[in-house]
Amino acid sequence: MTAAATGFNAASYLLDRHLAEGHGGKDAVVSPRRSLTYAGLAAESRRVAAGLKALGVRPEERVLFCMVDDVELLTGILGAMLAGAVAVPVSTMVTGLDLGKVLADARARVLCVSGEFAGQAAIALGLAPEVTDVVLDRAKAAELPSGVRAHDWNDLSTVDDHGFEPAPTWEDSPALWLYTSGTTGKPKGAMHRHAGIRAVCETYARGVLDTGPNDKFLSVPKLFFAYGLGNSAFFPLAAGGTTLLEPARPTPGLIAARVRAERPTLFFGVPTFYAALLASDIPDDTFASVRQAVSAGEPLPAVLYERFRDRFGVEIIDGIGSTEALHIFLSNRPRQVRPGSTGVPVPGYEVALRDEHGAPVPDGQPGELFVAGPSIATGYWARYETTKRVFQGEWLRTGDSFVRNADGSYTCLGRFNDMLKPGGIWVSPSEVEERLLQHPAVAEVAVVAAFDADGIEKPVACVVGVPGRRLDADELIEFCRSGLASFKRPRGVVELGELPKTATGKIRRNVIRELVRDMYDIQAPAPPHLVL
């Protein structure tokens, strides 16, 4: 540590202040299996930290977690940071092969895994020979390769922590790696420092949501997702509030039951889940306790915002963040929502729009979004060239296309490589999707490019219908024609049972593009309507 470095540990920041202020008896985390007060959470996190050190985990060494959202994962992440190690929560929806690739890339020696994923872990260990220890929560060690030491989570979390002190980390010490989804390439580990965790709590959570000790937080996105990690761990603990963890796969019925039982004040989702809630038959007063709903992950269409507000009586504020920025940096404000926009910069962040040459673009013109702020990752682990392209001085290049409106708000046009150019004129897929979602028969939609017989790019809409409603391709195309410029209308409609999504609920547009490419022969005119 240099003389100028400031001693700081994010886990201590999240926990110890509340004990010093006499709030140790307050509920910190509630799950269907068990709950802990702040005193209990701090004590168990310290025991996990001591247990990791007993396994030989050293400062700045990676500890990988493939676990369900529950007390164990939360104390594992906090314990790793208390020990000075780097917590690496990964998607629980990965295959064993994908998990093995991340394990090997991170060069982790310790893997913590829930029983539900022990089978994937056994496969993964075959690709990660550096792993020496696996900590199992509600799982048996029978399937692990020989030479890998197995430990029970209960043994790890009950290690004697007498004399344990948090590692002497400082603001710029590595605290957390988050792997990107890797939908367009190999997953990359975005490296975050301890101070970045405090930053998102002070900028977005406090500055936008005005979080406090009376808030209860319920998040559909899971802890392995940057968005969910802030919602379910950093924000509630920084505010002295209560996090409501849900280990199971979220469904509208399950989430509605948790909301009615636990009465959260803050609810976090993604657009596809808000659409699922609207398509369900849950009671209209389900969200009566919620003072604010939040959406991120993908742009929230104005029509979903309006339908949710009108039916459930709750306002959703939409925002955009990224794995590389740790959480939301551009957001609408409570009671100041411009539906269909992503709002304005979060306090502490700057944004800029640039063209393909890096020059600023004027208001009303599309440009690539760049962001600067205190929570930006220090780079990607072992990805030199990619780091140089994405992290440019103080600026993060997001790869998203935005336009700045006359009122100072920003509207997302989609990923730069998702933009369409039929007839040589740029078209935003989100604009066409927004129009289609206004049709009463459409529940979900993704618009991608296909090609006609001359190889000319044309918009194609992949649509999921509302249960019990019939989709008519000609009617949908004419519906778009009546509400959009003619060249923006889709030239074909593909009806799907569901849209392929990532583990974090984002639409997998690359998969949809491949599907459409296979269905639409470039050598022949594209059919107007296909059903799968």
Amino acid identity, residue 91?
S
The pLDDT tens digits of the residues spanning 376-422 come to 999 999 999 999 999 999 999 998 899 999 999 999 887 766 767 56
Q: Which helix (H) or strand (E) holds 475?
A: helix 473-483
Domain boundary among 120, 144, 179: 179
81 and 142 fall within a common domain? yes
CATH for 151: 3.40.50.980
Structure tokens at 1: 């540590």
Query: Residues 6 or more apart from 116 whose CB is under 8 A from it?
Result: 68, 92
Q: What is the pLDDT of residue 521?
A: 47
461 lies in which domain range?
A: 422-531
Q: Is residue 92 part of a domain?
A: yes
Domain boundary among 179, 203, 231: 179
297 and 377 fall within a common domain? yes
**DSSP sequence for 365-425:** S-EEEEEE-TT--SEETT-HHHHHHHEETTEEEEEEEEEE-TTS-EEEEEEGGG-B-GGGS
The phi-psi region of residue 170 (left if phi > 0; otherwise alpha if psi is between -120 and 50; otherwise beta) is beta
Q: Which among 126, 122, 103, 118 is positioned nearest to 67, based on CA atoms?
A: 118
171 and 273 fall within a common domain? no
133 and 210 fall within a common domain? no
- What gap in Å lies between CA 522 and CA 487, rounded to an integer? 19
**DSSP sequence for 279-290:** HS---TTTTTT-
- What gap in Å lies between CA 510 and CA 286, rounded to an integer? 35
Q: Is residue 452 part of a domain?
A: yes
342 and 406 fall within a common domain? yes
- What gap in Å lies between CA 266 and CA 288, rounded to an integer? 11
361 and 488 fall within a common domain? no
Q: Is residue 29 part of a domain?
A: no
Q: Is residue 77 part of a domain?
A: yes
- What gap in Å lies between CA 24 and CA 26, rounded to an integer? 6
394 and 428 fall within a common domain? no
Q: What is the pLDDT of residue 285?
A: 98
Q: What is the pLDDT of residue 139?
A: 84
Domain boundary among 114, 144, 179: 179
Instruction: State the total domains in the chain.
Output: 3
384 and 433 fall within a common domain? no
396 and 253 fall within a common domain? yes
Report helix, strand or coil for 113.
strand
Which residue ranges in the chain fall short of pLDDT 70? 1-5, 142, 181-185, 416-417, 419, 421-426, 452-456, 503-504, 520-532
Residue at token pair 């935005």: 402
- What gap in Å lies between CA 293 and CA 122, rounded to an integer? 39
- What gap in Å lies between CA 454 and CA 442, rounded to an integer? 30
Q: Is residue 247 part of a domain?
A: yes
Q: What is the pLDDT of residue 427?
A: 75
Q: What is the pLDDT of residue 183?
A: 38
Q: Is residue 186 part of a domain?
A: no
CATH for 270: 3.40.50.12780
453 and 406 fall within a common domain? no
